[in-house]
Amino acid sequence: MNVGLIGCGNMARALARGWGRPVLCADPVAERAQQLAEETGGEALPSNAEVARRAALVVLCHKPAQLESVAAEVAPHARAVASILAATPLQRLREAYPDTPVYRFIPSLPVEVRQGAVVQAADGSQDSKVDAHVHELFAELGTLVVLDDALVDVAMGLMSCGPAYVALVAEAQVDAGVRHGIPAAQGAALVAQTLAGTAELLRRRDYDTLALRREVSSPGGLTARGVDALERGGLRAAFSDALDAVLRPS
Ligand X SMILES: NC(=O)c1ccc[n+]([C@@H]2O[C@H](COP(=O)([O-])OP(=O)(O)OC[C@H]3O[C@@H](n4cnc5c(N)ncnc54)[C@H](OP(=O)(O)O)[C@@H]3O)[C@@H](O)[C@H]2O)c1
Q: Give the footprint of ligand X on this chain (CB under 6 A).
A: 6-12, 26-29, 32, 48, 61-64, 66, 69-70, 84-86, 106-107, 109, 160
Task: Identify the DSSP state of 182.
Answer: -
**Position with the least CB separation from ligand X:** 9
Name the residue nearer to ligand X (CB basis): 166 or 182: 166
The one-letter code for the residue type at 125 is: S
Q: How far is the CB of 212 from ligand X (least distance, A)?
A: 27
Task: Determine the 3-state secondary structure of 45 from DSSP.
Answer: coil
Q: How far is the CB of 213 from ligand X (least distance, A)?
A: 28
Instruction: Answer yes or no: are the C-beta atoms of 161 and 246 closer than 8 Å.
Output: yes
Instruction: Answer yes or no: are the C-beta atoms of 83 and 33 closer than 8 Å.
Output: no
Q: How far is the CB of 87 from ligand X (least distance, A)?
A: 7
Name the residue nearer to ligand X (CB basis): 28 or 234: 28
Length of the chain: 250
Name the residue nearer to ligand X (CB basis): 84 or 191: 84
Q: How far is the CB of 5 from ligand X (least distance, A)?
A: 9
Instruction: Answer yes or no: are the C-beta atoms of 118 and 142 closer than 8 Å.
Output: yes
Q: How far is it, in rounded angstroms, from Cα 147 to Cα 228?
A: 34
Name the residue nearer to ligand X (CB basis): 6 or 121: 6
